[in-house]
Amino acid sequence: MATLVFIVLAYLIGSVPFAVIVSRTMGLADPRSYGSGNPGATNVLRSGNKKAAVLTLIGDALKGWLAVYLAERFADAWGVGDFGLAAVALAVFLGHLYPIFLRFAGGKGVATAAGVLFAISPILGLAVMATWLIIAIFFRYSSLAALVAAVFAPLYYVFMFGFGPYSPAVIVMAILLIYRHRANIGKLIAGKESRIGQKKPK
């Protein structure tokens, strides 16, 4: 029962839509109404408000980190095992992708996944973030950077920890990240993908 409670709470934490909350608080348009329609930091950046995008990024990453951190902090006291911790990591990520507060239409999960990885291991998180940054800086495509980081995240985890307790969650998150970027893959191939900071025409 405790494991189930941890999973549900993690999902609810992941469902908090920081892109919408930040945009409304700062008097900006709902991020679902422009650009890609995605409630995430990259799309919020298309509003032209960098502060809002940064705050969204921090919020989405923080909720991923917080859910896993709290689960690890209280797991022993409540008898939650390795399976429960892995399920929590996946649940907070799924909460962002399919948030109950936005009728299950959420973001693509890049920042939240990063927060989860940082909670699992700061070194793992830094390795994946560095991979994202390198691709983003050189190619200026957020989606390409996310795809490359998603491919490398499970490899980094296995290299550092072997097939540890979080490996199923990390692998599933990577697969879901790639799946959520399937439209971007087509645009990248066609040369129609928007670059970081580029506003889409109305």
Tens of pLDDT along 94-115?
999 999 999 999 999 999 999 9
Give the pLDDT of residue 195: 86
Give the pLDDT of residue 198: 64
* Two tokens, residue 189: 């191939």
Predicted confidence (pLDDT) at residue 199 exceeds the cutoff of 70: no
User: How far is the C-alpha of 68 from the C-alpha of 112, rounded, in Å?
Assistant: 11
Percent with pLDDT over 70 in the chain? 97
Entry pTM: 0.93
Q: In this structure, are residues 108 and 146 in contact, taking their beta carbons and an 8 Å threshold?
A: yes
| Mean pLDDT value across the chain | 94
pLDDT tens-digit readout, 29-72: 999 999 889 999 989 998 989 999 999 999 999 999 999 999 99
Q: In this structure, are residues 107 and 56 in contact, taking their beta carbons and an 8 Å threshold?
A: no
Task: Select from 20, 31, 8, 17 the least CA-distant residue to 109.
Answer: 17
Give the pLDDT of residue 36: 84
Exposed, middle or buried: residue 51 (CB in 10 Å: 0-12, 13-18, 19+)?
exposed
Cα angle: 85, vertex 182, 145; to 5 degrees: 70
The answer for residues whose C-beta is within 8 angstroms of residue 107's C-beta and 6 or more apart is 19, 38, 39, 40, 60, 96, 97
Task: Select from 106, 105, 124 the least CA-distant residue to 116.
Answer: 124
The answer for residues whose C-beta is within 8 angstroms of residue 46's C-beta and 6 or more apart is 34, 35, 36, 194, 197, 198, 199, 200
Residue in the block written with tokens 């920890």: 161
User: How far is the C-alpha of 198 from the C-alpha of 108, rounded, in Å?
Assistant: 18
